[in-house]
Chain A
Amino acid sequence: MRAFFAARGVMELDTPVLGHTTVTDPAIESLTVEVGDRRIYLQTSPEYHLKRALAAGAPSVVRIGPVFRADESGRLHNPEFTMVEWYRLGFDLDALMTETAALADLILGAGKYRRTEYAALLEPVGVDVFTSPRATLEQALRSIGVGDEVRAWSRRHLLDYLVAHVLGSMTGRVFVTAYPPEQAALARVVSDAAGRRVAARFELVIDGIEIANGYDELRDADVLAARMAGDIDARRAHGQPLHAADQRLLAAMRHGLPACAGVALGFDRLLMLAERAKALADVLPFDYARS
């Protein structure tokens, strides 16, 4: 894999595991450590550091190393895992999807890839992500075995569960594209050919397992600052831990992030697929339960 990146002129860069700030994304919780009298965060992704390096003039970069997520533990989750995350200057999403597929081929052997838009994901369960009324969502959830508990869920939760279910039952290698704008995270929001506003991101799903998550990277610091403020409001509303927006990242973006596309890939999951294993614990030398 290192030869793969070297041959493509992508420079490997180490980023710290400990960071003074962390992501504001309400869907990701960070682990903290005490350093002296300060609270430090185990990084959930090298994204902020890699982008700061790009803004400082680094060429295309890759970081291969551990990332940490609180409360994520299960067959497909380990609180500590190996992420391969790389950023390509001047790439668009198409070029990055091609390269991501090439890396997956390297580990899994060559395969065929198809694409589907996020909006079409829930067609198999009779739901239109953008327009279906709540009753339709609840009915779809009941048809896949979820009970009365759905009544207490928000629309976003209903959709999250349906999407997780549909992604989980996909076979083959699939790139999901054109996400709803509210799921843009650090991707740009663009108008597609049909004039819809969509998040310029993709996710690679292989045999029902989410493997990689790619963005056409947002470069506007003000837009990012507004999204982070929205994240912080959502965290406050749900009683989640609050983290300040990373001012160093925002400053780097104000200085200028070059046009780029980046992708984060879960290496342990790819290894699991290559070994036809059923759980991460089967391919990790010391999984969390045995750590």
Chain B
Amino acid sequence: MPNYSTNEFKAGLKVLLDGEPCAIVENEYVKPGKGQAFNRVRLRNLRTGRIWERTFKSGESIPGADVVDLDMEYLYTDGEFWHFMKTDGSFEQIAADEKAVGDTQIWLKEQETYQVTLWNEAPIAVSPPNFIVLEVTETDPGIKGDTATGGTKPAKVSTGAIIRVPLFISIGDVLKIDTRTGAYVSRA
């Protein structure tokens, strides 16, 4: 991978920092009139999701990271690995471990498409689509017609996630859910 100098920094650039793959989130150029210029950079560690801040003297360079985001279809889990398949017609499969799948585990549905982040061709992160449609498998009996009181109850969906739903929802209902917040959106 090439090295990137601070004047090539921009949001989205994938770089290697302290041996970790990171994406630049924000890059601010700071220069006192007659002095050294700096780049104040916010980066997301792509493995942990944590935000790092780092200040570079302008002109410094850091190595790029071989990171690509691929749309992949979720197939199944064998208990140790979660298996995904490329959607480019190659049927090529990739196995992601628990660390890579992380919190996305509770949103994994077969045949749904996920964004799999590969670093040096190995999966390091899996992101769900923003909205996903899932079936309710467990919840208290629905209260018919109660669409107005605004009350909620817990419900478990087919992937194992537990979300808050309105009181009128019953087992077997199919829901649209926002995976970023875990919030119920509507009946699908």
Contact = CB atoms under 8 A, between A and B. Distances in A.
Interface of A: 25, 27-28, 71-77, 145-147, 149, 153, 156-157, 160-161, 163-164, 167-168, 183, 185, 203, 210, 213
Contact of B31 (A72, A145, A156, A185): A72
Contact of B36 (A77, A145, A156, A210): A156
A27 B34 contact: yes
Contact of A210 (B33, B53, B55, B57): B33
A161 B29 contact: no
9 contacts: A71-B58, A73-B29, A157-B57, A160-B35, A160-B38, A161-B36, A161-B55, A163-B32, A164-B38
Given A72-B29, A75-B28, A145-B53, A163 B35 contact: yes
Contacts of B28: 74-75
B11 interface: no
Nearest to B6: A71
Contacts of A168: 30
A160 B56 contact: no
Contacts, number: 63
Contact of A149 (B30, B54, B58, B59): B54
B54 A213 contact: no
B37 A213 contact: no
Contacts of B58: 71
Contacts of A185: 34
A161 B35 CA distance: 9
Contacts of A147: 53-55
A164 B32 contact: yes
Contacts of A167: 32
A161 B38 contact: yes
A146 B55 contact: yes
Q: Which of A73, A145, A149 has the most CB of B within 10 A?
A: A149
A39 B61 CA distance: 27
Interface residues of B, number: 20
B22 to A, nearest CB: 14
B35 A27 contact: yes
Q: Which 7 A-B pairs have the closest CB atoms?
A: A74-B29, A160-B35, A160-B36, A164-B32, A157-B36, A146-B55, A210-B33
A75 B54 contact: no
B30 A183 contact: no
A213 B30 CA distance: 17
Given A27-B36, A147-B55, 13 more contacts: A72-B31, A73-B29, A75-B28, A146-B55, A153-B57, A160-B36, A161-B55, A164-B32, A167-B32, A183-B34, A183-B35, A203-B33, A210-B33
A281 B120 CA distance: 37
Nearest to A147: B54
Contacts of A25: 34
A163 B53 CA distance: 19
